[in-house]
Amino acid sequence: MAVPVCGSDGGSGGWAICGTLNYWVFDLICIRLVFLLIATAIVKLKHLQPHSIIISLFAHLHFWGIRPDRHSLGILANSYCHLGRIDFGFSLLGKQIKVGYPPDCVTLTTLINGYINNDKLPLAAQLLDKIVGLGFEPDIVTYGAMFKGLCRIGDNAGALDLLERMQSGGRWIAPNAVTYNTLIDGLCKTNRLTLARQLFTDMQAHGVTPDVVTYNSLLDGLCKSKQLDEAVALLEDMEDKGIRPDIVTYNILMDSLCEAGQLEDAAKFFSDLVSKGLQPRIRTYNILVKGFCKKGLMKEADEVLRKMEEDSCLPNAITYNMVIRGYILSNDFTKALYYHDLMLSKGFEANADTFTLFIDLLSSDKVVVPPLSSITRWPEELGRALDKRHSWGMLANSYSHLGRIDFGFSLLRKSLKLGYPPDHIFFASSSFYRCLNWDCNMDKKEGMQATGISNSPYYGSMCA
């Protein structure tokens, strides 16, 4: 029940003012609560670069005169740390203490994470030592941040030493599945498989059950070490213990099998994952496409593309580039051009590796010269992958090598019109002018005058 705070007689005027005050306080509480809910949700939207947005929201909160609580200050400190301003994070820690909120493990872990995410691991380690020296007991989350940082730089010895310190401190802290997974993954990534397996055994001895993440790390390590038989045996052990493989598990195994040329086994794993109700991802299909293209099995690669369309998992730029390179390596220039045009119609472009193969094939005398209309847009596209000036010259040189000096000159005229002149070295040493001298008996200056290149403002420098 509200108590009047003004009005000499305690009449209705006092009740009205008190009610307004209560509603105002209630509104402030609601605004703060809604703000915290919004800020917490925004933090999870990593693709939107949320931390700058959160800092802006806090500025509005301050403008409205709403005092932040411990939780909102922690969110703000986290945002500053993610943006590399750990100094601002420490300032907010000081503000917390000033307004009566003593530091806790959450805030201190935020600062440690800030150092780690900004590649300042020594400072993170110093802060951890200070925390312990001041009498704070870091929790498993704090140690987890340090494990992540140490394993990311490959300091497995430091991570294992920290594990021992964690378990031998004043308050024994039991490692959890996340701790073991971080360490096992770090060991596998540095090819320390013996230690990783020992840790895998230790975690079970301490009552921590491995999960699919644990197995995936070990499988990835075994596959990258070419121990495929051991990897398959580990998969069977995983399933025997009731841990269901996920799509990442299958991607690891299929990729390793394709690299080893065991395409039939990879295809069986693909059928197995579908039969178990898992949905293949774009990476799953791309693994098969890469395997088939590497072996020159382009019919099978085309079938995978059709299945992708049927399953509404549309090919991406990586898919198309692999297929195009597969057809180029199979000397099927017509199909390579078809998929190149299809890729462009889908909004994708060829990458530098694909164009290098295109140009190598053009220079090899193994193909019928494609029409100029089909390749006049290549230099702009290649220019986005490499360098605009050199891309025009590379194509002109390739056509000149094939004896199509007319195509070479057409490309050069267009490049000059767009402001991308070939450099002096190109005209001094390329097949372009060798063809002129052999077939046309022209010197460099006469050739450029005959084809209209002399009208370019770059003509004088090219003839120097």
Each residue's pLDDT tens digit, 360-370:
666 555 555 55
Contact 217, 247 (CB under 8 A): no
Q: How confident is the model at residue 65 (pLDDT cuts 50, 70, 90)?
A: low
Q: How confident is the model at residue 274 (pLDDT cuts 50, 70, 90)?
A: very high
Q: Could you tell me how many helices (H) and strands (E) the chain has, helices first? A: 26, 0
Find, among 355, 439, 340, the residue nearest to 391 by Cα.
Answer: 355
Q: How high is the pLDDT of residue 23?
A: 40
Contact 411, 395 (CB under 8 A): yes
Burial of residue 35 (number of CB atoms within 10 Å: 0-12, 13-18, 19+): buried
- Lowest mean pLDDT of 5-14, 74-83, 99-108, 193-202, name the range: 5-14
In whole numbers, what is the pLDDT of the chain averaged over residues?
75
- Mean pLDDT, to the nearest integer, of 7-28? 42
The residue ranking higher by pLDDT, 194 or 45, is: 194
For the ranges 40-44, 89-93, 159-163, the maximum mean pLDDT occurs at 159-163
Find, among 356, 344, 282, 291, the residue nearest to 322 by Cα.
Answer: 291
Q: Is the pLDDT of residue 305 over 50?
A: yes
Q: Is the pLDDT of residue 166 over 70?
A: yes
Which residues have a Cβ under 8 Å from the Cβ of 280 and sit 6 or more positions away? Answer: 247, 270, 273, 274, 311, 313
- Mean pLDDT, to the nearest integer, of 349-358? 74
Q: How high is the pLDDT of residue 383?
A: 47
Which residues have a Cβ under 8 Å from the Cβ of 72 and sit 6 or more positions away? Answer: 32, 35, 36, 39, 58, 61
Structure tokens at 51: 């931390």
Rounded (10°) angle between helices 263-275 and 282-294? 160
Residue 79 CA: distances (Å) to CA of 83, 123, 255: 6, 19, 37
Q: How high is the pLDDT of residue 194?
A: 94
Q: Is the pLDDT of residue 325 over 70?
A: yes
Please tell me the distance from the alpha carbon of residue 39 to that of residue 349, in angstroms, as a whole number: 38
pLDDT tens digits for 397-415?
A: 655 555 556 666 666 666 6
Q: Is the pLDDT of residue 301 over 80?
A: yes
